Every structure is written in C-alpha cells, then in structure tokens.
A = this chain, B = another copy of it.
Amino acid sequence: MNPNRAAVEEAARFFREHDRFLVLSHVNPDGDATGSALGVVLMLEQLGKEYVVVNEGETPLKFDFLPRFDRLRNLRKQPLTEMFEAVIAVDCADESRMGDVRPLFASGAAVLNIDHHPTNDMFGTVNLVRPEAAATAEILFEVAEEAGIAFNEELALCIYTGLLTDTGGFRYSNTTPRVMEIAARLLTYGVKPGEVAERCLEEITFAHVKILRRALQTLQLSHQNLVASICVSVDDFAEAEAKREDAGGLVNYCRNIEGVEVGVSFVESEPGIVKVSMRARDRVDVSAVAKQLGGGGHAKASGCTVKGTIAEAKQKVWDVLEPALGVKHDE
C-alpha cells in the first residue's frame, strides 16, 4: 500500500480512537492554520468527540467568518490547566511553532501531526506530513474523506480557506490540479469564493491605506525603469498610527508596474533598522541578492534586514542588485 494512504488511514483512526482532544495550530495563525484547526474541530463534533481548540495568542479577527471561531481559546487570556492525552496539531513544522502550548500535553500523550512544511521534524506519535501538499487543509480534506465525514458548507469553508490563503488565491506555484479539484468539490457544498477572498485576501486596514498614501509619495522608478522602489520611515508609521503589519504588501505595488523587473520596499521598522523586501519578475534571482546582504528567500520573493538609514540601505541593495541586473542606477 502507498505509504501516504496508510498515513491518511492512521490519521483517520486517530480521530476515532480518542475521546477528548486538544487541537492547536501555530503562533500568529494564518488562514491555513485557522481553517485547518477549525476543520478538525468540525470533524470531531461530527464524530461526537470532545475538544478544546487553542492558540498561544490571539487569532486575527479577519477569520471570524469561520465556523467555531468563537471556540478558539487564546491561552494568554484564558490559561488552561487541563492536561490532554490526545493532541491534534495542524500546520506546525515543529513544537516551537506551537508557542507555549506544550505544557498541556499529558506525559506520553498521543500526538497527531498533520502538516505540509518540508521542514517538519515528525514530532508526533502519528505523523501525516506531505510537503507536496499546497496547504495543511489539502491533507485534512483527505483525512475527512477517509474518516467518512459528511461534508457540508461549514467544513468546506474551513478547508477552502486553507487552500485559498496558502496558494495566494490560487496563484502561487503550489496551485496544483489537485488543489483545484478539491476546490471544485468544496464549492459544491455552497462555499462562496468571493466572500472568502474578500475576507482573507482583499480586506485592508485604514492604517494600511494611510501608510500606502505616504509610501506612494516615495515610489520611484530607477535603473532604466527596471526597478521600482518604495520607502516607509518610522515617522510614517507614527503619523499614520500604523503597525508594522499595516505596511505588508507595499512591495507588490512596485513589482506589479508594467516593465518593472524588480520591486523593492525599504521599511524602517525602528530607527537604524531597515527591512528590505524584494520581488522579481524574470531577469534577477533576488534570493541571491538577499543572501549577499544576510537575508534569504526565493528567486522571486526574498528579503533581508540592513542596518543604517533608508538611504544607506538603498545604496547597499543597489550595490548588489546592479551587477545582477546589469544596469546602473540612473536617478
């Protein structure tokens, strides 16, 4: 038998064999972590099981459209003393990703580890780890089918949310035919793709708009219009009353401009510390640029942290980028 199939069966058996579960995902949970954790919860309910679903901290309110969102327990606000004999961890590559949740495991607890990160260290007593899956939710879909769970709109919504968010709205290269096939199945249960995308991918904060407004004033084309860059200073954050995460995605405005090969954002997270994000089209491998500056990432999306002012950071990036691009600065 296909070892993957055996692991799916073992995972389905895990759901049936225990009665009371601790369900958890990773710190700073995203759509796949939250969708998968709540998907597990719905499966457990259908099997007549008891559970507590937790996160070390708060789950972003943008996911409050998911069923059983109100059952997600923030351990910082509502600590728990109970110890659990059975644990289901989703979307966690290792125990450190869980945050301070490990103390709730009873000694010798049975732990089901469902994940798709290639770096997963197999911390479970049962490990269903498939790096080829686009999302943990994709694996959970297989487990639910194997466990004979009846799909309905709520469960479909949880799994769809994981697929949608971890594939960047079906745009990343992990968007396989299998992802689309599962999405097709989930839509038959009544998931409204526009509403999920609106909540998970399109919603922005007013603080983001204010940061964007200030940042766009700095947007500049350089290097024969092959590079577009944008800057945000600590003063911008203060004046926009914005948090670090409100500046997310600014680099995309640069990369998305037609004709631009490399988009770069320079975000001064604190005085003297500049976070550099780079997005490339085809001509340059920006992970090589980032590595030379102590960072890392992928060929088309990478980043690094540079000490100094924004102007100094810019110069450092140009010094490394120019040979890769084959074009000198021409402001």
Contact = CB atoms under 8 A, between A and B. Distances in A.
The complex is assembled from copies of this chain, and their number is: 2
A80 interface: no
Contact of A171 (B177, B197, B216): B197
A265 to B, nearest CB: 14
A256 B221 contact: no
Given A177-B185, A184-B180, A252-B202, A213 B221 contact: no
A258 interface: yes
Given A205-B257, A206-B257, A209-B257, A194 B173 contact: yes
Interface string A37-78: 000000000000000000000000010000000000000000
A62 B258 contact: yes
A269 to B, nearest CB: 23
Contact of A193 (B171, B188, B203): B171
Interface string A181-223: 1011101100011100110001111100100110011010100
A90 B175 CA distance: 28
Contacts of A119: none
B204 A209 contact: no
B173 A184 contact: no
A206 B183 contact: no
Nearest to A204: B256
Interface string A164-182: 0000111111011111110
Contacts of A258: 62, 203-206
Contact of A177 (B178, B184, B217, B253): B184
Contact of A253 (B62, B204, B252): B204
Contacts of A221: 206
B173 A170 contact: no
A193 B175 contact: yes
A217 B215 CA distance: 12
Contacts of A62: 258
A194 to B, nearest CB: 5
Interface string A299-316: 000000000000000000
B213 A194 contact: no
Interface of A: 62, 168-173, 175-181, 183-185, 187-188, 192-194, 197-198, 202-206, 209, 212-213, 216-217, 219, 221, 252-253, 256-258, 281
Q: Which 8 A-B pairs have the closest CB atoms?
A: A180-B184, A213-B216, A171-B197, A177-B184, A181-B184, A177-B187, A175-B193, A171-B194
16 contacts: A169-B171, A169-B197, A170-B170, A172-B194, A177-B185, A180-B180, A180-B181, A180-B187, A202-B252, A203-B256, A203-B258, A204-B256, A204-B258, A205-B258, A209-B257, A213-B213
Given A171-B193, A203-B257, 11 more contacts: A170-B170, A170-B193, A172-B194, A175-B194, A180-B181, A184-B184, A202-B256, A209-B219, A213-B216, A213-B217, A213-B219
